[in-house]
Amino acid sequence: MRIPLNVEKMMDSDVVKLSGDTSVTHAMERMHEAGVWSVVVTVDGEPRGVVTERDLLRRCFRPKQNPDFVLLREIMSYPLVTIDRNLPVGSALNLLLSDEIRRLYVINSEGEIIGRVTQTGCLESTLNLILGMQGTFEQI
């Protein structure tokens, strides 16, 4: 049985975008203010990569670099992996798990980033859907 749930229905729309010329210190402040674990890095106004808290630890703090002088473009992961907002959740989850990607960025028909889905979020949404359906089937 196919369940017509697409990623747009379960994506997180709190996406912070910052220029690649932004310092790590400023990025950390924005991440904290927005309550997010990652930022999309733009170059010439176009999304090009992502910096996560893990990237900050591994590429800035572990090598003991000064976060005031390290720029996001120097430590970002790329390319940015995007998916269409109408992609079924199962397909997104398969992509996340098979390619060992932690997050996918959701784009609209114009190619603009409108949200993100994560491994944890996809698994949680799928589990909630299954649990919700279980109650429906028990009533039949």
| Confidence band of 132 (pLDDT split at 50, 70, 90) | confident
Q: What is the pLDDT of residues 17-53, one digit of tens each?
A: 999 999 999 999 999 999 999 999 999 999 999 999 9
3-state secondary structure of 125: helix
pTM here is 0.83
pLDDT score of 106 = 96
Model pLDDT, residue 140? 54
Decide: 85 and 108 in contact? Cβ < 8 Å: yes
pLDDT exceeds 70 at position 91: yes
Has residue 2 been placed in a domain? no
Pairing of strands 38-43, 46-52: antiparallel
Could you tell me if residue 61 is inside a domain? yes
pLDDT of res. 87 = 92
Number of folded domains that form the chain: 1
Give the C-alpha separation, 47 to 88, whole Å.
23
pLDDT for 100 equals 78
- Structural domain that includes position 34: 7-139
Query: In angstroms, rounded to a whole number, what is the distance separating the alpha carbons of residues 55 and 72?
Result: 10
Asked if residue 81 lies in contact with residue 40, where contact means CB atoms within 8 angstroms, the answer is no
For residue 50, the tally of other CB atoms under 10 A from its CB is 22
Domain with 97 in it: what CATH number? 3.10.580.10
| DSSP per position, 9-49 | GT-B----EEETTSBHHHHHHHHHHHT-SEEEEEETTEEEE
Is 1 within the bounds of a domain? no
Q: Is residue 70 part of a domain?
A: yes
Q: Whose structure tokens read 């790329």?
A: 78
Tokens of residue 17, six digits: 């975008």
Strands 113-118 and 38-43, by their bridges, are unpaired
Query: Is the residue at 95 inside a domain?
Result: yes
13 assigned to some structural domain: yes
